[in-house]
Amino acid sequence: MSHQAVTSHRAAFVALTALAPVSWGSTYYVTTEFLPPDRPSSPV
């Protein structure tokens, strides 16, 4: 495998790995900032 292919593969892996925390963080932000404070976030 060439150096360019390894670098490209590594960049794709890092980007994919970064998606989970970004997704969780954005969901947490929306939940804490935009939902009314007197409402539960999930129906019980």
Q: What is the pLDDT of residues 1-44, one digit of tens each?
A: 677 777 889 998 998 999 988 888 888 888 888 887 776 666 65
Q: What is the pLDDT at residue 42?
A: 64
Q: What is the pLDDT at residue 17?
A: 92
Distance CA 19, CA 16 (A): 5
Q: What is the pLDDT at residue 41?
A: 61
Q: What is the pLDDT at residue 28?
A: 86
Contacts of 5 (CB under 8 A, 6+ apart): none
